[in-house]
């Protein structure tokens, strides 16, 4: 018997908008988010054009959780919260085994990798930051999305 997957909500955040409807409206209007990259933390980047998320939405995620995640995980959690709200579903002990998180990524934790590269190789620190490993794991975003809801 094949198991079925049902997409019940969609979340998104990118240079076009901070939620799925804003992104969809921008795409339908033919707008592009490609432009100058203004983020000063991108150091010596030779390419100054891209699709930057200029301002994160007010996400209300606890600071203790935020310090344990890389930016890619934070973006995934923000989008997943939107998808959960949109779905109208609530995770509880009776249904978490039927819910899950699938997060597609190319490279995990690059912001953390860059920070640690600079700290160790350029600034001479003798060790990586404490949350480096959990921040850069490829499954970090799916874990950060699943854990608060105890999703399987």
Q: Are 69 and 77 in contact (CB under 8 A)?
A: yes
Considering the domain boundaries, does residue 12 fall inside one? Answer: no
Tell me: the pLDDT tens digits for 59-116? 888 888 889 999 999 999 999 999 989 988 888 888 888 887 778 887 788 889 989 9
Query: Tell me, what's the pLDDT at 13?
Result: 94
- Residue 37 makes CB contacts below 8 A (sequence gap 6+) with 45, 47, 48, 49, 50, 52
For residue 30, the domain's CATH number is 3.40.47.10
Number of domains in the chain: 1
Share of the chain above pLDDT 90, in %: 44
Q: What are phi and psi of 14, to 5 degrees?
A: -160, -175
Question: Could you tell me the residue range of the domain that residue 145 belongs to?
Answer: 20-149
Band of pLDDT at residue 151, cut at 50, 70 and 90: confident
Considering the domain boundaries, does residue 6 fall inside one? Answer: no
Share of the chain above pLDDT 70, in %: 98
Tell me: the pLDDT tens digits for 12-51? 999 999 999 999 999 999 999 999 988 887 767 888 899 9
Tell me: the pLDDT tens digits for 45-73? 888 899 999 888 888 888 888 899 999 99
Task: Evaluate if residue 1 carries a pLDDT over 80.
Answer: no
Q: Are 15 and 51 in contact (CB under 8 A)?
A: yes
DSSP secondary structure of 112-131: HHHHHHIIIIIS--SS--TT
CA torsion sign, 113 to 115 to 120 to 122? positive
Considering the domain boundaries, does residue 14 fall inside one? Answer: no
**Predicted TM-score of the model (pTM):** 0.85
- As a whole number of angstroms, the distance between CA 134 and CA 101 comes to 17
Query: Tell me, what's the pLDDT at 95?
Result: 84
Considering the domain boundaries, does residue 111 fall inside one? Answer: yes
Considering the domain boundaries, does residue 2 fall inside one? Answer: no
Query: Tell me, what's the pLDDT at 43?
Result: 66
Considering the domain boundaries, does residue 10 fall inside one? Answer: no
Considering the domain boundaries, does residue 54 fall inside one? Answer: yes
Considering the domain boundaries, does residue 135 fall inside one? Answer: yes
């Amino acid at each position: 018997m094949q198991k079925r997957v049902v997409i019940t909500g969609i979340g998104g955040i990118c240079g076009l908008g901070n939620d799925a409807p804003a992104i969809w409206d921008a795409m339908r209007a033919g707008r592009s988010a490609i432009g100058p990259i203004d983020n000063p933390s991108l150091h010596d980047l030779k390419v100054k054009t891209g699709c930057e998320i200029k301002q994160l939405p007010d996400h209300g995620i606890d600071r203790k959780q935020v310090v344990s995640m890389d930016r890619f995980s934070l973006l995934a959690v923000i989008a997943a919260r939107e998808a959960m709200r949109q779905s109208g579903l609530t995770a509880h002990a009776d249904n978490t085994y039927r819910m899950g998180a699938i997060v597609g990524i190319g490279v995990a934790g690059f912001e953390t990798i860059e920070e640690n590269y600079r700290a160790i190789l350029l600034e001479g620190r003798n060790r990586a930051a404490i949350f480096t490993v959990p921040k850069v794991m490829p499954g970090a975003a799916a874990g950060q999305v699943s854990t608060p809801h105890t999703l399987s």
